[in-house]
Structure 1
Amino acid sequence: MKQYDVIIIGSGIAALQLANKLTKDLNVIILTKEKLTTGNSYLAQGGVAAAIAPSDDPYLHYLDTLEAGAHHNDAEAVLEMTQKAPELIKGLWQSGCRFDDDGKGKLLLGMEGAHSEKRIVHSGGDETGKHMVDFLIERLEANISIEQSTFVYDLILNKEETQCIGVKAKLPDGRNEIYAAPHVVLATGGCGQVFAYTSNAETATGDGIALAYRAGAELADMEFVQFHPTLLYVAGKTRGLISEAVRGEGAVLVTAEGKRIMEGIHPLKDLAPRHIVSQTIYDYSRKGIQVFLDISSIRDFGSRFPTVSKLCRDHGTEIENDLIPVVPGSHFVMGGVKTDLQGRTSIPGLYAIGEVACTGIHGANRLASNSLLEGMFVGGKLAEWINGTQAYRDAINNLHIPEKNFFNGELPEPDILKHTMMNRTGIVRTKELLMTQAEWLSQFNLERWLDAAIDHLSPSTLNRLFMYIAASLITRSALERTESRGGHFREDFPNEDNANWMKKQIIHQRKNVKDGKHEFNQTALAT
């Protein structure tokens, strides 16, 4: 057994921000199931939203976030984040993080969908995530250990089941290891890989969601999945993300005949909220009509968007032709492990930050370039809380590992799951399709897996199990919400139902963890 003060599972923006903000007298370990830079944060082409321009204001950023989130957001949390955003960006910039500027000390600001002002800060054009992650990694100090290719597969609760005190993990050599700490942080990202078309890194398989659900933590809003409108589509497969910043710079969505598909659909046209653009493209694809991103209006596209240009060239799409074939794909889950703004879950000692968490900030649909911002914001707030508390430190002295029964049910290959999820629980949903998916998933006895011993499973089998658990939660939640809102579109209930659903969250908790030493008001987590 290895013992620490803080265990951080994951290595994206939220995890690295937390690690950098924790006091240096804490013994911290980052556990990541692949390489440190193998994740969605590192792949982020877009930027970070912050009201920095003289014509902008954090309140306008707040309003745009609520509008994109279909007013399902926690308004107070949104306002606190948008007010903090300029300070976060300026702090990083002054510390040496490279952002694109005009050469005279003024940050360049871009436009993205559903924003009312130019407020997107970029680094290296479309390499913002890479540059920010590299910068934060360079700043990690000696009190922070890193173990790569270490797959956390189980959370450990104390004997009384009142708090989380550690994790079990698979080491690169196949051995199992126990890590104990009074603070266990899920920063594992989302679950985009449960869908056939996705912009997500291969590591985004719902690990943290499944870990928390098996342990008994509350989850919320799993029905809200954002489908990014523009993924490069070649030879029947998605090949990577075409940043929303491309449309922000003037690209438009067209058919092969040049018809602009967003005309008359929304006042913002090609910069409408993502769910509207995705649904429009999906309607065309269902009719067998390929949609393209027309980039002819963007000068020096190759230098402005080097990552996108390389992606296109690598897959045989010449940007000189000005038309990039696109389809929507899963991009971000707004739901997840329910937390407060410090990242605290319903289980004391267990925290969640970044995409795995549901803080209420994103509502029913995330505003473009708010994800890196939220990761930095909540990661910093959690660091402040951990730095100032002595809570739970005695718990790990009495580590207890309960006996569990073995269960060896079969789970089909992930590709089968991905295609069924895309077709039945994807961009456009109906009761009939969702019921079909729920019944298909039920045959795999996922409930029996939740209490089973899984120490003997290989990392690939564990990965598959976590994908099935996440897929089941998304499908169940989508069935329960009988309206359309944000990233959740029901063709049989096509309108928003504010009277019954605007603030109502679907909470899933497989068991009640016994009341522990909560250091915050549990009603803050109630709906």
Structure 2
Amino acid sequence: MVSAQHRRFVSDFLILGGGSTGLDLALRLAEHGKVLVLTKAPIGDCNSMMAQGGIAAVLDEDDSTILHYEDTMTAGAGLCNPQSVRLVVENGARMIQHLIDLGTPFDKTDNNSYHLTREGGHSRRRVIHAADATGRAVMLSLIKQAQAHPNIEVLPNQIAIDLITAHKLGHFLPGKKDRCYGCYALDTEADVIRTYQARFTILASGGAGKVYLYTSNPDTATGDGIAMAYRAGCRVSNMEFIQFHPTCLYHPQAKSFLVSEAVRGEGGHLLLADGTRFMERHHPLLELAPRDIVARAIDYEMKRTGEPCVHLDISHKGADFIKAHFPTIYEKCLEFGIDMTQEPIPVVPAAHYTCGGVVTGLQGATDIESLYAIGEVASTGLHGANRLASNSLLECLVFSESAYNDIVSKMFGEDRPVLSRLPLWDSYEAGSCEEEILIAHDWQEIRRFMWDYVGIVRSNQRLARARRRIEMVMQEINEYYWNCKVSQNLIELRNLALVAHLIIRSSQHRKESRGLHYTTDYPERDDARWLKETVLPIE
């Protein structure tokens, strides 16, 4: 039995998530106090580590922040917040220098300048990268710095259950905003629930790709931060805009492996089974069209032809070029018997990025005092209805700095958070769940009907079916949760179901097609009625 004093942890800053956003903010905040970083899995098991293509920033004299701004606004299909876009693109070059200072080894050309590639939706080459494993390079530099800092403690295998707020503790005062004091989290190794309290709590927990059957995301991407924030009383917005990456490796043994957009950026062609190109029928930019258009084109061609995949061919660029620019993808394909220097890569679309999330301002502050959300978990208005390729890692860094500035300004203000002893978790003598198979079944059912009914192409009928199913499943999950001892599977299933419900509700609300949300019942964009965000208040 773990003693009570070992089940309560106190810090100045509590960060939920150890990806690029969480670690970068931890390094900034560590100069002002103790930082605890909770990660669900060993550090590095996150979307940031898997990011391939690179980071978009204006680094070339042929480019400008105005062009980057316009490309981002165009991709967002009218729903981007101009202030958010300006904040990100105008700080791009400075954030790249920040990463270079941390030791990130970006690729260079023969004349010692940084190599820039171009991806879909960009009008210029502006994507700086470290071969085809940029996220890994960024993460390794951040991990090295964080592990060496005396004020940062990273605690792996901790899955947050719920946020602790004044309202939940019965301390809520009318006319005052609710305040966050930390969270309860399950230590999956010790099998004990710990109380983490802090002056400031930051959600940096990533997105929700695992709500879909096919995804490029790791198993940790179950929408935990979005679900916890919503349950605590935060608004969420734009959850209908789920980005499907057009090209994930299609192979029965290849789990969640992305084939970078940079392959198309460097001249890769999308082909049907007979070897013919098809993007000319869908968009004038061909393979460099925005991701939503390419993903729908692939989905359309697969359904039209009955083929299980399409093919991505860059073999015409030559073996030396391919091995130099895409060593990770080349090696991974070889593992499955595919030589991309000689033959096309079989690819399919897969859920990739959650463009919506917890509503925040430009400093990452949420509807609850002392609670921040940054990175993919947040909805800042940067992405609008569709994220421009390689803007996500840049967003993480810019909003990390913005949140840091806001947090530090509040640390010493009149309304600064004061810590008081929080109660430990009460298990209510819940018993063990004897039917784990029911949890596994619900998990698979949600991911399957979300893929079938709330995927790349939607309709009123499909969404209505999904709504009926998710509401029934949520009732079952609620019974498990209140009657069974919590486990990682149950916590993630509870969050996954709530996020699925939010996506379905948002999709039903938007009666038009825009960006990543396409419905056959309303196939046209309707600026007169729907040029606005979808904001879901608490039900």
Normalised by the shorter chain, which TM-score bucket? Answer: over 0.9
Kindly indicate whether residue 9 of structure 2 is the aligned counterpart of residue 2 of structure 1.
yes
> Within 5 Å, which residues of 2 pair with 1:340-489?
340-390=361-411, 393-397=416-420, 399=422, 411=439, 412-446=441-475, 449=478, 456-489=485-518
Q: Which amino acid aligns with 1:170?
A: L
**Cα offset, 1:75, TM superposition:** 0.8
1:229 is paired with a residue of what secondary structure? strand
Under a length normalisation based on structure 1, what TM-score does the superposition of the two structures give? 0.92
Deviation string 1:242-301 (CA, Å, 9 cap, x unpaired) is 000000000010112221110132121100000000001001111313310011222321
User: 1:395 and 1:403 mapped to 2: Cα distance?
Assistant: 23
Any conservation in 2 of the 1:446–1:469 contact (CA below 8 Å)?
Answer: no
**Cα offset, 1:310, TM superposition:** 1.9
Q: Which amino acid aligns with 1:506?
A: T
In the alignment, which residue of structure 2 is the partner of 1:522? none
Any conservation in 2 of the 1:404–1:453 contact (CA below 8 Å)?
Answer: no
2:158 maps to which of 122, 144, 150 = 150
User: 1:17 and 1:485 mapped to 2: Cα distance?
Assistant: 33
User: 1:262 and 1:226 mapped to 2: Cα distance?
Assistant: 19
Check 1:58–1:446 CA distance in 2 against 1; reply closer, same or farther (3 A cut): farther
**Cα offset, 1:23, TM superposition:** 4.6
Kindly indicate whether residue 240 of structure 2 is the aligned counterpart of residue 226 of structure 1.
no
Check 1:458–1:94 CA distance in 2 against 1; reply closer, same or farther (3 A cut): closer
**Cα offset, 1:444, TM superposition:** 2.3
User: 1:105 and 1:237 mapped to 2: Cα distance?
Assistant: 36
**Cα offset, 1:329, TM superposition:** 0.6
**Cα offset, 1:135, TM superposition:** 0.5
Q: Which amino acid aligns with 1:31?
A: L
Q: Which amino acid aligns with 2:452?
A: N
Any conservation in 2 of the 1:278–1:427 contact (CA below 8 Å)?
Answer: yes
In the alignment, which residue of structure 1 is the partner of 2:138? 132
Alpha-carbon RMSD: 2.2
Q: Which amino acid aligns with 1:293?
A: L
In the alignment, which residue of structure 1 is the partner of 2:535? 507
Q: Which amino acid aligns with 2:286?
A: K
User: 1:445 and 1:275 mapped to 2: Cα distance?
Assistant: 30
Deviation string 1:486-527 (CA, Å, 9 cap, x unpaired) is 11111111111101111x22222326xxxxxxxxxxxxxxxx
Check 1:505–1:52 CA distance in 2 against 1; reply closer, same or farther (3 A cut): same
In the alignment, which residue of structure 2 is the partner of 1:42? 49
2:182 maps to which of 149, 152, 166 = 166
User: 2:69 and 2:416 mapped to 1: Cα distance?
Assistant: 37
User: 2:446 and 2:474 mapped to 1: Cα distance?
Assistant: 15
Deviation string 1:221-242 (CA, Å, 9 cap, x unpaired) is 1000000000111249765100
> Which deviates further from its counterpart, 136-145 or 101-110?
101-110
Any conservation in 1 of the 2:218–2:256 contact (CA below 8 Å)?
Answer: no
> Which deviates further from its counterpart, 401-410 or 157-166?
401-410
Deviation string 1:168-195 (CA, Å, 9 cap, x unpaired) is 0111210110010121111111000111
Check 1:413–1:236 CA distance in 2 against 1; reply closer, same or farther (3 A cut): farther
Check 1:473–1:447 CA distance in 2 against 1; reply closer, same or farther (3 A cut): farther
User: 2:86 and 2:535 mapped to 1: Cα distance?
Assistant: 24
**Cα offset, 1:393, TM superposition:** 4.5
2:316 is paired with a residue of what secondary structure? coil
2:517 is paired with a residue of what secondary structure? coil
In the alignment, which residue of structure 1 is the partner of 2:32? 25
1:119 maps to which of 120, 126, 145 = 126
**Cα offset, 1:449, TM superposition:** 3.4
User: 1:401 and 1:221 mapped to 2: Cα distance?
Assistant: 35
1:347 is paired with a residue of what secondary structure? coil
User: 2:154 and 2:425 mapped to 1: Cα distance?
Assistant: 28
Any conservation in 2 of the 1:6–1:182 contact (CA below 8 Å)?
Answer: yes
In the alignment, which residue of structure 1 is the partner of 2:113? 106
In the alignment, which residue of structure 2 is the partner of 1:250? 267
In the alignment, which residue of structure 1 is the partner of 2:3? none
Kindly indicate whether residue 313 of structure 2 is the aligned counterpart of residue 294 of structure 1.
yes
Any conservation in 1 of the 2:120–2:265 contact (CA below 8 Å)?
Answer: yes
Check 1:236–1:397 CA distance in 2 against 1; reply closer, same or farther (3 A cut): closer
> Which deviates further from its counterpart, 110-119 or 255-264?
255-264
2:495 is paired with a residue of what secondary structure? helix
| Identical counterparts, % of pairs | 38
2:78 is paired with a residue of what secondary structure? coil
**Cα offset, 1:315, TM superposition:** 2.2
Any conservation in 1 of the 2:314–2:341 contact (CA below 8 Å)?
Answer: no
Kindly indicate whether residue 343 of structure 2 is the aligned counterpart of residue 322 of structure 1.
yes
1:282 maps to which of 299, 317, 336 = 299
1:325 is paired with a residue of what secondary structure? strand
Any conservation in 2 of the 1:294–1:322 contact (CA below 8 Å)?
Answer: yes
Q: Which amino acid aligns with 2:162?
A: D
In the alignment, which residue of structure 2 is the partner of 1:91? 98
User: 1:402 and 1:177 mapped to 2: Cα distance?
Assistant: 7
2:317 is paired with a residue of what secondary structure? coil
Check 1:355–1:17 CA distance in 2 against 1; reply closer, same or farther (3 A cut): same
Q: Which amino acid aligns with 1:160?
A: H
Deviation string 1:429-467 (CA, Å, 9 cap, x unpaired) is 000000000001111245983997588311111111111
**Cα offset, 1:469, TM superposition:** 1.0
> Within 5 Å, which residues of 2 pair with 1:256-271?
256-271=273-288
User: 1:297 and 1:236 mapped to 2: Cα distance?
Assistant: 27
Check 1:32–1:438 CA distance in 2 against 1; reply closer, same or farther (3 A cut): same
In the alignment, which residue of structure 2 is the partner of 1:74? 81
2:274 is paired with a residue of what secondary structure? coil
Mark the runs of 5 or more structure 2 residues left unpaired by the alignment. Answer: 1-7, 173-177
Any conservation in 2 of the 1:205–1:466 contact (CA below 8 Å)?
Answer: yes
Q: How many residues align?
A: 509
Mark the runs of 5 or more structure 1 residues left unpaired by the alignment. Answer: 512-527
**Cα offset, 1:65, TM superposition:** 0.3
Any conservation in 1 of the 2:270–2:279 contact (CA below 8 Å)?
Answer: yes
> Which deviates further from its counterpart, 397-406 or 438-447?
397-406
User: 1:232 and 1:448 mapped to 2: Cα distance?
Assistant: 33
Deviation string 1:143-176 (CA, Å, 9 cap, x unpaired) is 0111001111111012324211011011121011
In the alignment, which residue of structure 2 is the partner of 1:515? none
2:279 is paired with a residue of what secondary structure? coil
In the alignment, which residue of structure 2 is the partner of 1:210? 227
User: 1:455 and 1:165 mapped to 2: Cα distance?
Assistant: 26
Q: Which amino acid aligns with 2:219?
A: E
User: 2:479 and 2:140 mapped to 1: Cα distance?
Assistant: 37
Any conservation in 2 of the 1:200–1:331 contact (CA below 8 Å)?
Answer: yes
> Which deviates further from its counterpart, 42-51 or 445-454?
445-454
Q: Which amino acid aligns with 1:13?
A: S
In the alignment, which residue of structure 2 is the partner of 1:520? none
